[in-house]
Structure 1
Amino acid sequence: MGRQVDRLTLDNLPALAGHGATCTFWELDPVRRERIRGHEAEEKAAWVSLMLREWGSVGRVVSVDGRPAGHVLWAPALHLRGGDGFATAPVSSDAVLLGSTFVDPEFRGGGLGRVLIQSMAKDLIKHGGIGAVETFGAHRPHPGSCVLPVDFLLAIGFRTHRAHARFPRMRMDLRTTITWREEFEAAAEKILGVVKRPSRNPVPQSPRGLQPGVRRQVSDRPTQQPGPSGAH
């Protein structure tokens, strides 16, 4: 099964899995959503175009064997007015808001949701100036809801930032994501047996405290390399 993750663009927007191309739950407040009823696709495309021009990348699309299988969308909370209606709003000043996250039911259970969230985190780390991602989780999500289950958010690295009986505000610090990535890559190196090769002509060193002719014991552990997951 071949997976590919691409940036969200106006070209791949119409092919988003589910109702991603027409859902404006996060982008617009309830009054505006009612006014543009029947023109959701045009409004969504206009929003994506504006964000790409004025802020940068705001989404990822994952495909399986060439078929769109899921997507994730994020932005500064100022541009996702649907979040204003939650009792635990507003989002923290150092965070962006995680909006639409969807994986086609046919492809759930294979870790695609985590792949999307990790792709988002990598992009935000490169963007700079962002400390965290926040969103609103649902303790009792309804089928087809645009709000992610709290259990899923907890499983991929979010924690409860402001509790609520129905829709708590959840937070994932990007520093934690970086640490997780470093640990993952170090473990992968051990499994794959990747070891840094010494330079061809190393300069002889005389470690302080060792007698001539005595060699220092060298660990064979690979050096850690710096480096950084919405639905089911």
Structure 2
Amino acid sequence: MSTSVTALTLGELDKLPAHARRCVFWEMDPAVAEDSRGFSDPVFEKEAWLSTVMLEWGSCGQVANVDGNIAGCALYSPPRVVPRAGLFPTSPVSPDAVLLTTLRAEFPYQDADIAHRLMQAVVADLVRRGVRALEAFGLRTDPPAKALAERTVGSMMLMERIASPIRDAASNPATECSPETCMIDADFLEEVGFEVIAPHHRFPRLRLELNSDHGWKEDVEHALDQLLAAAAMTPPTRIGAR
């Protein structure tokens, strides 16, 4: 099996996996998305967002390919261009960090090392560009009952806004966006070297230091090697809904 990971370019937006091409969970404010439902094309909105980010900031994605088939992707960008990044109870993202929004391994490649390879490509790109840190809002799918019971009315309303689904123009359930389909599993992020810097029972914010003074390279490589070795013996950690 031949696997490669390449940076996403303006001329290759159609190489993104099907869900990623239509997903605007991160790229549109949920209120705006709801108001425009049925009138806007999510593929157009996503391509417009990607084009703007790439022209103004540079590469913001990595795409994995296995034997000529699209196997997964990772997307990352400055948090200021990600509308949903300001809605979490653990916001805002640190000013020196880039935000990792998407990391997906597509069927039937979830059992391969696609997530491993994508993380390596993202880290290598950002280190080359002098970025200090990578942050992500993780998803915990089984929050403790006590934490659930202690939510205030205000926090419940905020979380409902975060979790509000974004449906495509055809209202296709298979491509509906939600935290479960569009966020990265917090346990997976911790396994590859991220550390929780803003705890939350549902949406913790995690950080991976990329500054060479912090020994990021050895730590990340060790964590990714451990994950890959564990994946060979046990079912893979869930990165997102398949």
TM-score range, shorter chain: 0.7 to 0.9
Unaligned runs of 5+ in 2: 143-177, 224-237
Tell me the residue number matched to 2:71.
69
Tell me the residue number matched to 1:155.
191
The separation in 1 between residues aligned to 2:118 and 2:129, in whole angstroms, is 17
Tell me the residue number matched to 1:30.
30
Letter of the structure 1 residue corresponding to residue 61 of structure 2:
G
Tell me the residue number matched to 2:148.
none
The structure with the greater share of residues assigned to helix is: 2
* Partner SS for 2:108: helix
Tell me the residue number matched to 2:46.
44
CA-to-partner distance for each residue in 1:57-114, whole Å, 9 max, x for gaps? Answer: 0000000001111000000000111111111000001101101211113101211111
Query: How large is the Cα RMSD of the aligned pairs?
Result: 2.2
Q: Tell me, yes or no, if structure 1 residue 125 matches structure 2 residue 127.
A: yes
Q: Percent identity?
A: 37
* Partner SS for 2:181: coil
The separation in 2 between residues aligned to 1:109 and 1:171, in whole angstroms, is 25
How high is the TM-score relative to the length of structure 2?
0.71
* Partner SS for 2:200: coil
Tell me the residue number matched to 2:12.
12
Deviation at 1:12, TM superposition (A): 2.7
Q: Tell me, yes or no, if structure 1 residue 177 matches structure 2 residue 216.
A: yes
The separation in 2 between residues aligned to 1:71 and 1:64, in whole angstroms, is 12
Q: After TM superposition, where is structure 1 displaced by more than 4 Å over at least 4 residues in a row?
A: 141-144, 181-184
Deviation at 1:18, TM superposition (A): 3.9
* Partner SS for 2:120: helix
Contact 1:9–1:48 at 8 Å: present in 2 too? Answer: no
The separation in 2 between residues aligned to 1:119 and 1:36, in whole angstroms, is 35
The separation in 2 between residues aligned to 1:182 and 1:43, in whole angstroms, is 35
Bigger relative contact order, structure 1 or 2 (CA pairs below 8 A, ≥6 apart): 2
Deviation at 1:182, TM superposition (A): 7.9
Q: How does 1:69-218 map to 2 (within 5 A)?
A: 69-128=71-130, 130-140=131-141, 144-175=180-211, 176-180=215-219
Change (3 A) 1:183 1:17: closer
The separation in 2 between residues aligned to 1:36 and 1:2, in whole angstroms, is 41
* Partner SS for 1:105: coil
Tell me the residue number matched to 1:21.
21
Q: Which of the pair has more CA radius of gyration?
A: 1
The separation in 2 between residues aligned to 1:133 and 1:106, in whole angstroms, is 28
